[in-house]
Amino acid sequence: MSQLLPPHGGKGLVCCLLEGAELEAEKKKAEGLKKIDISNLVKGDLIMMGIGGFSPLNGFMTKADWKGVCENFLMADGTFWPVPVTLDTNDEEVKEGDEVALVNGGEIYATMKVTEKYEMTEADKKWEAEKVYKGEGEDSQGDFMAKAMEDHPGVQIVMARGKYNLAGPVKVLSEGEYPTKYAGVYQRPAEARKIFEERGWKEVAALQLRNPMHRSHEHLAKIAVDVCDGVYIHSLVGNLKPGDIPAEVRVKCIDALVKGYFVEDKVVQGGYPLDMRYAGPREGLLHATFRQNYGVSRMIIGRDHAGVGDFYGMFEAQTIFDKIPHPEEPGKALLCTPLKIDWTFYCSKCDGMASLRTCPHGKEDRVLLSGTKLRKGLSEGTPIPDHFGRDEVLEILREYYANLEDKVEIKTHKAADGQ
């Protein structure tokens, strides 16, 4: 009997990925269906539904689901869910009752039975953007949409979507490039659960990574190891925004850290196939929701989790967990809880890693650690302060940047600069 948290939704792992003869038959059928092009973000959502990462979802959301999630964090059946999972299109001809094939880059990823087609006006998209992406930070004040259309990649994605959303159950036919490109890192929830169970873990903490692992990340992971049975360093291997460091480089950095600075049987490294939404607090909730499906009980939430610019308060992704609904019906509430950790940094006077709760010294004594600052310094070739990252990691990153032909300007924000 597993000691891990059950998957979210009360239905076990809901996996839409076909296998064997059923898969081959559906692939042949898909060739003759009407084709709908999907974005990379939707592709990642599909794969997560395929492998059970988005349990209990078995398809794209209806208008009632979309509205409930945006407004109240609840789908139409009362299940907690923090961000809409929708499929957009500009196709005028597809209609309710149709069966379609979902295509990205020429590959068919799934088939879908269209149970609902609903229009998304500009006002609808703006409403979604404001409900899901607007935070308490400085950039969210005043004319939020004007600022967001200039500097918020998540809002830009929402506003660029098609005229309609299609809802309905899916049959997933492919996991794309992930099983081969990230062999040994990319994991299905059932695979992660098996590893945790074999190790006898009950309390598992997850560390979300989209940046290379610096000393602050290392410190967070070690706090988690101290208070839980083990830590799951879970990296996003989907698409990021321009200027972010690709997954294969980040994985090499994690490997170097784990081998050199962790007790290896207390750490599991994995990867998942989503694109970042940059939804800040809401995305922190999403990270906890799908980590529960992987068997995780505690989601590490630090400073500006999944944030962008200054749209969110530094610890808004922590406090949002205290504001969400908790449905009473078994399985429908979020069970994965946050492991809230204050801003961490290296302090020269403390002579080690510390946090705002443990360090009495001033900013002049602290090396403020930020993935954004690290990327900016490496991209511009400026010196990286002592204690910012481990030498083995910085060596990997410097090699990456030395061979990078097209560099993107990295903008820092106030939190990264200690303001």
Positions annotated as catalytic residues are: 210-211
Q: Report d(CA 413, CA 9) in Å as an integer.
A: 37
The size of the chain, in residues, is: 419
> Do the Cβ atoms of 167 and 97 come closer than 8 Å?
no
> Do the Cβ atoms of 101 and 89 come closer than 8 Å?
no
Q: Give 203's contacts (C-beta < 8 A, 6+ positions apart).
A: 227, 228, 229, 297, 298
Tokens for 123, please give them: 């006002």
For residue 219, the number of C-alpha atoms closer than 13 Å in the C-beta half-sphere is 20
Query: Which residues on neighbouring strands pair with residue 346, listed in sequence order?
Result: 353, 367
What is the separation, in whole angstroms, between the first and last Cα of the chain?
A: 49
Nearest CA to 294 out of 232, 222, 221, 209 is that of 232
Nearest CA to 253 out of 388, 91, 394, 136 is that of 394
Tokens for 22, please give them: 């059923």
Q: Report d(CA 356, CA 318) in Å as an integer.
A: 15
